[in-house]
């Protein structure tokens, strides 16, 4: 009980810093029946679930809320992301999971960019595009270039991408995440690092950025769930991706992690979360109340 009181006191103190509208903010979040949850750094780190995350998702579902997952990670096929959640003990339907590999495939289909698509990224991204009917091509001769996270990114790939982009073809970035948390909270270089290298070399910006903070992914997820955005609250650990997307989409948000900077320091981003919690378990406890979800 003492640990629970300390945790709740810490959450309340941090949220008080977000403004005097804490009561209204909490009410706004409680009214949303669909929680859209980021994965890396919120549900899991590396191959391991974060403490309390599995029980937190179950507590939300037990309260009658729907839980869906939205990740900028393009490393795997959507089916593989779902399989990972199942293996961690989090049941979910395919429609409740969306990553940038799948979202990028939908974007290409929508724009008619489905022929001779080159991929600088992991095999999972290429496989997801192919599953959606996208015809793949070598980067050297492609008509569209898609860039995702690539754990084997090399100078040779940079040069091939540069030469492709100098032909003026569409440049599609899965996301701009500079980094993301791995195991033991150690940061790993994200897709944004590869995108930035290509952007600097080719001296041109991406034609389109699919992932968060673009609301496109949330809209796509909502269509699959047959939910309105007004039903949703976004939970994530990135102010620049998750929380900014929520603001652009007009939905409330919960920031997970270290307390956000003071409002004055946030002027450049001009975005603050609706609520803040140290982790997903504390976010669920804050919204549902301590009687609905015990301490882990």
Q: Say how many residues make up the chain.
A: 296
Residues near 36 by beta carbon (within 8 Å), at least 6 away in sequence: 68, 69, 70, 218, 221, 232, 233, 234, 235
> Is the backbone peptide bond immediately before 95 cis, with ω within 30 degrees of 0?
no
CB count within 10 Å of CB 37 equals: 26
- Catalytic residue chosen out of the listed positions 40, 150, 177, 282: 40
CA separation, residue 173 to residues 44, 131, 205 (Å)? 24, 19, 9
Instruction: Mark whether 38 is an active-site residue.
Output: yes
Task: Choose the catalytic residue: 5, 38, 152, 242.
Answer: 38
CA–CA gap between residue 189 and residue 166 (Å, rounded): 25
Half-sphere exposure at residue 52, Cβ-oriented, CA atoms within 13 angstroms: 15
Q: What is the pairing mode between strands 179-181 and 66-71?
A: unpaired
CA proximity to 155, closest of 117, 194, 126: 194
Q: Is 40 a known active-site residue?
A: yes
- Residues with Cβ within 8 Å of residue 197, at least 6 apart in sequence: 153, 158
Catalytically active residues are: 38, 40
């Amino acid at each position: 009980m003492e640990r629970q009181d300390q945790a709740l006191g810490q959450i309340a103190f941090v949220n008080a810093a977000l403004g005097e509208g804490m009561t209204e903010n909490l009410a706004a979040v409680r009214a949303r029946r669909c929680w859209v949850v980021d994965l890396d750094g919120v549900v899991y780190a590396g191959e391991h679930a974060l403490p309390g995350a599995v029980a937190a998702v179950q507590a939300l579902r037990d309260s009658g809320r729907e839980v869906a997952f939205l990740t900028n990670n393009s490393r795997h096929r959507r089916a593989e992301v779902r399989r990972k959640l199942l293996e961690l003990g989090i049941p979910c339907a395919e429609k409740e999971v969306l990553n940038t590999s799948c979202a990028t495939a939908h974007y290409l289909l929508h724009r008619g960019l489905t022929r001779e698509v080159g991929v600088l990224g992991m095999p999972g991204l290429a496989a997801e595009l192919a599953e959606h009917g996208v015809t793949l091509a070598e980067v050297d001769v492609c008509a569209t270039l898609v860039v995702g996270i690539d754990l084997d990114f090399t100078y040779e790939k940079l040069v091939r991408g540069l030469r492709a982009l100098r032909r003026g073809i569409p440049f599609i970035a899965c996301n701009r995440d500079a980094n993301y948390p791995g195991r033991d909270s150690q940061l790993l270089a994200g897709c944004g690092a590869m995108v930035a290298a290509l952007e600097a070399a080719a001296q041109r910006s991406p034609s389109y950025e699919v992932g968060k903070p673009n609301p496109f992914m949330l809209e796509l997820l909502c269509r699959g769930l047959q939910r309105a955005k007004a039903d949703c609250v976004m939970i994530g650990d990135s102010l620049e991706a998750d929380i900014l997307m929520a603001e652009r989409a007009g939905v409330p948000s919960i920031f997970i992690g270290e307390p956000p900077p003071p409002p004055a320091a946030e002027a450049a981003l001009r975005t603050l979360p609706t609520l803040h919690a140290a982790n997903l378990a504390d976010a669920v406890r804050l919204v549902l109340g301590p009687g609905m979800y015990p301490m882990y």
